[in-house]
Structure 1
Amino acid sequence: MVHIVEFSPVFAEAADERYHHVNGIWNAREQTERLARERGHAYVRPEDGGVTVEFADRALLEADALILAPTVATAAGMWQPADGAAAGRVLGHRVLDRIAAARPDLHIVLVSHFLVGHGVAHRNAKPNTWSLRALEAHLRAGPNPWTILRPTWLSTIHDPSYQTRLTGDRHADGLVSTDSVAATVLTAIEHREAAAGRTAAIFNLSIPETGATDLVAEFTALERDFEAELAGVTE
């Protein structure tokens, strides 16, 4: 059993100094929690809204892994930060620096977005693209083992005959189901030795195949990030 904590900080609320972060809603959270519990893992998510430092510290004390899935969605609706890059940097200092000081061993799986790889000048990029880019960089520069996942365009419809693929190509595009995102996130947590130090876009192969996707093999086939090689991150 793995003890998993999920934080989904809202970029627009990054500067709210009353809280450790303000928890929002990310697209695959229900599928990820359901699958985690089906696999026998413990799963903790704070209530939507302000998360106190005390709650965050307690939740992370015995955690084996953190799913960090920043969002622009709250229970009250969608919010876009005025300055995306600044919001990502604030979350990096407020959330990641505190974790690094208390739990430098904690595996952090950051659910980012494929447009980060396409660059901030991409016509579809939005302020939260800059936020995620800044947060990715902050995570790679810290002591925690990390896995950065960049889902492509999301679909709530899951076709089990479609295969899930991971790629280090920063220009990746495609469509991926929320169920496939959940499975990939949990595989990264369950097989840290294969996933740590890697960044990958997630997409579904649109040609049906037989058999199940070997996500561990997909992770193993990825090249590790430059920062991971430099720091000797192996697990």
Structure 2
Amino acid sequence: MKKMIIIGATSGIGESLARQAIRKGYKVGGTGRRVQRLEQMKDELGEHFHYREMDVVKKMKASSKLLSLVEEMGGMDIIVLNAGISNYPASSIISMEQEIIDVNVSGFVQLFGEAFQYFRQQGHGHIVGVSSIAGLFGSSRAAPYSASKAFISTYMQAYRQRCNSAGYDITITDVKPGFVKSEMIEGKKGLFWVAETEKAVRQMLTDIEKKKSYSYITRRWRFVAWLIKLTPNWVIDRL
């Protein structure tokens, strides 16, 4: 039985992935800040679901809780780094933007590092990071969010190169969602091609099992990514 740990499993993509993975025979560990939601998932999913309360901003505690969850589960084959936040009401733009960087970048790097070291010692493993189509260009309405997702993609690409050059048997998958139904996009206007969570996660899990380096969910967003990459910067700067 493969063992998957999902960082950020209490809603949206993370929650759906936990449910779908268990249905496919995985043992799943989930983390999040909402303990009550984790307890409900445990009641619903049963013995193959394990959990830890975790705030990725508290980096050392997050690392400790990850390792204790791995021990409880008897190992880890796949980790999905899904914890992330977007723009939200705050006392100031500066505090809001700093919180996004703390969660999406600093928290990501801490747990990526823990997983990488674990898999290198184990001799194999699979790290999945959830970035975003938004990471392909700067957005005036969500500067720190799009920048943080660009960081995640570039960071994972660099580690993929490191694994290839060093011969490490560690797969690194960059999941690039477009708009997927979740709490993160509730109330936002002007969205298009909003995918049902189940469909998007089903495609995501298929790509994880195929050990793809890049996963666009849903598939149509690959075409959008191609167009963005071909668009001159002077055009993007005027959007």
Q: TM-score range by the shorter chain?
A: 0.5 to 0.7
Counterpart pick for 1:187 among 201, 206, 212:
206
TM-score, length basis structure 2: 0.58
Please tell me whether residue 101 in structure 1 is matched to residue 111 in structure 2.
no
Match of 1:145 among 171, 177, 197: 171
Structure 2: gaps of 5 or more residues: 34-53, 56-60, 91-95, 164-169, 183-191, 223-239
Provide the aligned length of Structure 1 versus Structure 2: 166
Identity %, equivalent residues: 14
Structure 2: distance between partners of 1:88 and 1:29: 15
| Matched letter for residue 57 of structure 1 | L
Greater C-alpha radius of gyration:
2
Q: Distance in 1 between matches of 2:217 and 2:11?
A: 16
- Residue 16 of structure 1 is matched in structure 2 by none
Q: Over residues 122-151 of structure 1, what are the superposed CA-to-partner deviations in whole Å (9 max), with x where a residue is unaligned?
A: 345442221121122222222342111111
CA shift in 2, pair 1:95/1:180, >3 Å: same
String of CA shifts for 1:161-204, please: whole Å, max 9, x gaps.
xxxxxxxxxxxx73322112221232133222xx1xx2232226
- 1:109 CA displacement: 1.5
Aligned partner (choices 129, 142, 159) of residue 110 of structure 1: 129
Q: CA deviation at 1:26?
A: 4.8
Higher strand share: 1
Mapped to 2, the partners of 1:34 and 1:84 lie a distance apart of 27
| C-alpha separation in 1, matches of 2:109 and 2:209 | 27
Determine if contact 2:62/2:111 at 8 Å carries over to the other structure.
no
How far apart, in 1, do the equivalents of 2:23 and 2:31 lie?
20
Alignment of 1:52-201 (within 5 A): 52-60=62-70, 62-72=75-85, 80-82=96-98, 88-104=104-120, 105-117=124-136, 119-120=137-138, 122-142=139-159, 143=163, 144-155=170-181, 174-192=193-211, 195=212, 198-201=213-216
Label 1:26 to 1:108 Cα distance change in 2 as closer, same or farther (>3 A). Answer: farther
Q: Give the secondary structure class of the aligned counterpart of 2:132.
A: coil
TM-aligned CA deviation for residue 29 of structure 1 = 2.3
Taking the aligned partners of 2:101 and 2:12, their CA distance within structure 1 comes to 21
Partner SS state of residue 198, structure 2: helix
| Alpha-carbon distance change, 28 to 129 in structure 1, aligned in 2, over 3 angstroms | same
> Which residue in the other structure is 1:28 paired with?
13
Unaligned runs of 5+ in 1: 9-23, 157-172, 206-217, 219-235
**Does structure 1 retain, via aligned residues, the 8 Å contact 2:3–2:27?**
yes
Q: Does the Cα contact within 8 Å between 1:5 and 1:43 map onto a contact in 2?
A: yes
Higher helix fraction (1 or 2): 2
**TM-score, L = length of structure 1:** 0.59
Residues 43, 128 of structure 1: alpha-carbon distance in 2 compared, 3 angstrom cutoff: same
Structure 1 pair 55–201 and aligned structure 2 pair: CA distance change class (3 A): same
AA in 2 matched with 1:201: Y
More relative contact order in 1 or in 2 (CA 8 Å, sep 6+)?
1
- Taking the aligned partners of 2:108 and 2:22, their CA distance within structure 1 comes to 29
